[in-house]
């Protein structure tokens, strides 16, 4: 039979050592040219073509052993028979492959076999082959490889600004305003989803308080659906007014709309069906996650309000959920937040009862029409308790049910082992439920970041009862970049600009044992002229700076702290006095400035890392990375645009590290003076803070040549040159200290 002959041929070729010279013809055999395997074949073919090979893709039925062509096979269907033939010929068995797992077998340059446990596993195996071709130009080193995911579900948290009438959590920032139209751009989603697959993400969570008017039609509420895509002509601001409270759509916004893309509701539905199909073909599940009760553009229609005890709102939202499930067969699940606009009641409109009446019953209504439909559910532990979630909601839910929690509050770039889930873990054990860890990056929006060992340590420390993680921001939309002063045309996807960061969090999530050597090869393939110049170490050293600053100057939530600008939403710039008063992250092992000064004056033994040591660490990171980046600039034969901009980002982070080091040292000396009244301490404080001012000037000089100022949604306008005026006031604070 045809299949028997095929498998025998496969194994016979695998058993040989292959050709000693590289053939220029390659045939890629696969189960399908569509879906995840089709994407892998596309990537393999592209990598081979870049290396000068002539590539032909064929179905498995067309397999032929003859000829001089290299053969690459990507398959799921052939697994059992290949295993049997390998065993008959004494070859090592592939072994157990769980979901998303794969094995790669090759001999020389003549044959490479990728066997997946499922289509997604086969895709990941094919992507590894494509990467090997790009990084090494050959496939013979891919022998006896068996891989399976370290963390089963690896996701992106994407606050999605669908429309000014259905905004995400806070669209006041320039990132949202510049990306509204991109959310309805097929080219954006192709590039974005291709990147996520290559980085090994398999989940995309789309966060929006009330997305339904932009994505679904309702039989009983026809006027709720929104034609076209609109932005507002109002100028965004962080100040109270037309934009605040940020989760609500204000009347002023609705009075000042501008159509940026004409689309009927039917076209919108077809668009999102296409997005979900494209995602599925890349092995990616899509969820919508909401905040409540926030009806936005639906408020005022059909008696709908944001009131928790309004039966009309409950009936409307229940139908929204039902129709969304029915409209989008490929939607993997829904998530909810019991907030930001819900009250803690003890009646029929209690938070969990309300969520069950709307989301729970809406899903149940859909399942009555689609009995086999599975809808996964994520219930965030925010403004509610796990006990109530499990008794009032989860106990009634028929499908997969998991919770979500802000693992590092708003700052994932802080500690590789944040301490905030300890009490939750005990409750999770009691209720036997797994958690999605919400990894919030409201830290680094501009600069390219990359520290593989920080990522590895962080993900290795995730608790045992992990359902998955999703990484993203509330104060930024990771669509297309919009601030570069040397932009591409069209502007780069953020997942392209920040490819290294996104790649590290996805690849290490899939394989925590991914070797440093493999990461360095990926970097070298991207920047071939950096061979032997230590780019990986240089990048990692600069990337240690912001986590160290965040651990020392700890502020839980996004509106409380933006490290790139040294400010917050409410009071603005954080002065040296703020650095004295603000304690480090709990369980970080870092001493606060007051604790250190008190022990120093009392001549007591220090416990933990002192502020002086924190500052010295920052100075060391900054000095090393500045020196190494400068050496790469001088020694690289061809400084490509991307490498040049990457080195500039590294230098900007380094100057920022020097700034915070001097500010911390100045804070120590100023507080010493406040306690001892020794003028030498004040003089030392002034000198350190004057140094900090110089470092900020260097930081601003680099950053402002790279990026234009922007309004950050959760804080303020990030304009490094304007912030310099605030930086100068720290010296004045030191000079004025003790004069009152």
Taking only the tens place, the pLDDT of each residue in 592-639 is 999 999 999 999 999 999 999 999 999 999 999 999 999 999 999 889
Q: Give dist(CA 220, CA 218) in Å, integer.
A: 6
Out of 77-81, 170-174, 644-648, 722-726, least confident range: 77-81
Q: Give dist(CA 504, CA 471) in Å, integer.
A: 12
Residue 17 is predicted with a pLDDT of 29
Torsion from C-alpha of 239, 244, 246, 249, nearest 10 degrees = -140
Q: Give dist(CA 417, CA 533) in Å, integer.
A: 31
Which uninterrupted H or E stretch holds 334? Answer: strand 331-340
Residue 244 is predicted with a pLDDT of 57
The architecture in CATH of the region 2-147 reads: 2-Layer Sandwich (3.30)
Q: Among candidates 209, 208, 221, which has minimal Cα distance to 315?
A: 221
Contact 132, 126 (CB under 8 A): no
User: Would you say residue 5 has pLDDT above 50?
Assistant: no
Q: Cβ contacts of residue 5 below 8 Å, gap of 6+?
A: none
Residue 618: CB atoms within 10 A of its CB come to 27
Q: Are strands 710-711 and 717-718 parallel, antiparallel or unpaired?
A: antiparallel
User: Would you say residue 352 has pLDDT above 60?
Assistant: yes
SS3 of residue 38 by DSSP? helix
Q: Which residues pair with 331 in a beta bridge?
A: 286
Residue 10 is predicted with a pLDDT of 43
Q: What residue spans define the domains of the chain?
A: 2-147, 155-514, 536-736
Average pLDDT, stretch 35-53?
96
Contact 562, 660 (CB under 8 A): no
Which uninterrupted H or E stretch holds 146? Answer: strand 145-147
Taking only the tens place, the pLDDT of each residue in 410-454 is 999 999 999 999 999 999 999 999 999 999 999 999 999 999 999
User: Would you say residue 16 has pLDDT above 60?
Assistant: no
User: Would you say residue 88 has pLDDT above 80?
Assistant: no
User: Would you say residue 8 has pLDDT above 80?
Assistant: no
φ and ψ at 450, to 5 degrees?
Answer: -170, 100
Out of 86-100, 274-288, 300-314, 346-360, least confident range: 86-100
CATH code of domain 155-514: 3.20.20
Classify residue 428 as exposed, middle or buried by CB count within 10 Å of its CB (0-12, 13-18, 19+). buried
User: Would you say residue 320 has pLDDT above 50?
Assistant: yes
Taking only the tens place, the pLDDT of each residue in 169-184 is 999 999 999 999 999 9
Structure tokens at 539: 């990048």
Q: Give dist(CA 121, CA 117) in Å, integer.
A: 6
Q: Give dist(CA 570, CA 488) in Å, integer.
A: 35
Residue 140 is predicted with a pLDDT of 63
Q: Give dist(CA 679, CA 674) in Å, integer.
A: 10
User: Would you say residue 524 has pLDDT above 70?
Assistant: yes
User: Would you say residue 6 has pLDDT above 60?
Assistant: no
Predicted TM-score (pTM) of this structure: 0.96
Taking only the tens place, the pLDDT of each residue in 191-231 is 999 999 999 999 999 999 999 999 999 999 999 999 999 99
Q: Are strands 376-380 and 331-340 parallel, antiparallel or unpaired?
A: parallel
Q: Give dist(CA 299, CA 721) in Å, integer.
A: 42
Q: Give dist(CA 610, CA 282) in Å, integer.
A: 48
Torsion from C-alpha of 519, 523, 528, 530, nearest 10 degrees = -100
Mean pLDDT of the chain: 93
User: Would you say residue 108 has pLDDT above 80?
Assistant: no
Residue 698 is predicted with a pLDDT of 98
Q: Among candidates 445, 442, 443, 476, which has minimal Cα distance to 176?
A: 476
Average pLDDT, stretch 575-591?
98
Residue 603: CB atoms within 10 A of its CB come to 6
Cis peptide before 556 (omega within 30 of 0): no
Residue 293 is predicted with a pLDDT of 97
Q: Where are the alpha helices (DSSP H) in 102-202?
A: 119-136, 174-177, 186-198
User: Would you say residue 66 has pLDDT above 70?
Assistant: no
Q: What percentage of the chain carries pLDDT values higher than 70?
A: 95
Q: Among candidates 463, 558, 546, which has minimal Cα distance to 157?
A: 558
Q: Give dist(CA 224, CA 215) in Å, integer.
A: 11
Taking only the tens place, the pLDDT of each residue in 678-707 is 999 999 999 999 999 999 999 999 999 999
């Amino acid at each position: 039979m045809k299949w028997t002959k095929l498998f025998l041929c496969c194994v016979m070729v695998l058993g040989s050592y292959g050709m000693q010279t590289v053939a220029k013809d390659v045939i890629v055999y696969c189960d399908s040219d569509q879906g995840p395997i089709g994407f892998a074949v596309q990537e393999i073919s592209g990598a081979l073509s870049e290396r000068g090979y002539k590539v032909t893709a064929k179905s498995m039925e067309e397999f032929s052993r003859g000829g001089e062509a290299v053969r690459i096979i990507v398959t799921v269907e052939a697994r059992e028979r290949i295993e049997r033939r390998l065993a008959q010929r004494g070859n090592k068995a592939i072994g157990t492959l769980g979901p998303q797992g794969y094995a790669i077998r090759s001999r020389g340059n003549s044959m490479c076999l990728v066997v997946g446990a499922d289509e997604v596993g086969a895709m990941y195996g094919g992507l590894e082959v494509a990467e090997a071709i790009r990084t090494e130009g050959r496939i013979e080193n891919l022998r006896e490889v068996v891989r399976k995911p370290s963390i089963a579900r690896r996701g992106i948290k994407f606050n999605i600004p669908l429309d000014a009438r259905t905004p995400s959590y806070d669209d006041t920032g320039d990132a949202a305003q510049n990306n509204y139209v991109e959310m309805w751009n097929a080219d954006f989603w192709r590039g974005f989803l291709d990147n996520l697959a290559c980085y090994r993400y398999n989940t995309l969570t789309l966060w929006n308080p009330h997305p339904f008017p932009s994505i679904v039609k309702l039989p009983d509420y026809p006027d709720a659906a929104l034609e076209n895509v609109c932005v507002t002509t109002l100028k965004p601001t962080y100040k109270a007014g037309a934009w605040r409270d940020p989760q609500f759509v204000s009347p002023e916004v609705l009075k000042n709309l501008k159509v940026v893309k004409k689309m009927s509701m039917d076209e919108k539905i077809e668009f999102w069906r296409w997005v979900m199909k494209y995602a599925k073909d890349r092995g990616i599940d899509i969820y919508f996650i909401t905040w409540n009760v926030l009806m936005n553009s639906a408020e005022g229609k059909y008696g709908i309000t944001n009131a928790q005890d309004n039966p009309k709102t409950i009936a409307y939202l229940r139908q929204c959920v039902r129709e969304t499930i029915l409209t989008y067969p490929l939607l993997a699940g829904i998530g909810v937040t019991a907030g930001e606009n819900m009250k803690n009641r003890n009646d029929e409109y209690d938070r969990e009862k309300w969520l069950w009446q709307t989301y729970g019953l809406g899903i149940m209504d859909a399942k009555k029409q689609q009995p086999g439909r599975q809808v996964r559910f994520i219930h965030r532990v925010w403004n509610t308790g796990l006990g109530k979630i499990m008794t009032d909601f989860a106990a009634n839910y028929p499908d997969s049910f998991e919770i979500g929690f802000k693992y590092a509050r708003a700052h994932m770039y802080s500690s590789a082992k944040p301490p905030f889930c300890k009490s939750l873990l005990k409750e999770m054990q009691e209720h036997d439920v797994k958690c999605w860890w919400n990894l919030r990056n409201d830290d680094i929006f501009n600069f390219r970041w990359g520290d593989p060992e920080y990522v590895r340590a962080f993900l290795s420390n995730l608790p045992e009862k992990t359902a998955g993680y999703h990484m993203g921001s509330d104060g930024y939309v990771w669509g297309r970049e919009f601030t570069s002063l040397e932009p591409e045309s069209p502007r780069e996807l953020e997942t392209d600009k920040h490819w290294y960061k996104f790649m590290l969090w996805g690849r290490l999530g899939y394989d925590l044992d991914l070797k440093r050597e493999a990461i360095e090869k990926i970097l070298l393939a991207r920047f071939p002229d950096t061979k032997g110049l230590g780019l990986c170490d240089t990048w990692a050293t600069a990337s240690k700076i912001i986590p160290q600053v965040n651990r020392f100057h700890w502020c839980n939530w996004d509106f409380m702290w933006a490290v790139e600008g040294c400010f917050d939403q409410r009071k603005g710039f954080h002065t040296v006095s703020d650095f004295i008063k603000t304690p480090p992250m709990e369980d970080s092992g870092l001493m606060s400035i007051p604790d250190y000064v008190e022990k120093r004056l009392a001549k007591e033994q220090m416990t933990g890392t002192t502020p002086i040591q924190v500052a010295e660490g920052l100075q060391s990171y900054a000095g090393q990375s500045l020196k190494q980046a400068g050496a790469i600039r001088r020694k690289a034969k061809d400084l490509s645009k991307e490498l040049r901009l990457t080195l500039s980002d590294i230098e900007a982070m380094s100057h920022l590290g020097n700034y915070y080091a001097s500010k911390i040292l100045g804070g120590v000396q100023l507080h010493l003076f406040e306690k001892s009244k020794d003028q030498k301490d004040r003089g030392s404080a002034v000198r350190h803070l004057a140094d900090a001012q110089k470092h900020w000037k260097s930081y601003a000089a680099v950053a402002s040549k790279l990026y234009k100022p922007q309004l950050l949604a959760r804080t303020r306008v990030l304009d490094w040159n304007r912030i310099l005026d605030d930086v100068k006031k720290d010296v004045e604070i030191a000079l004025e200290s003790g004069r009152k």
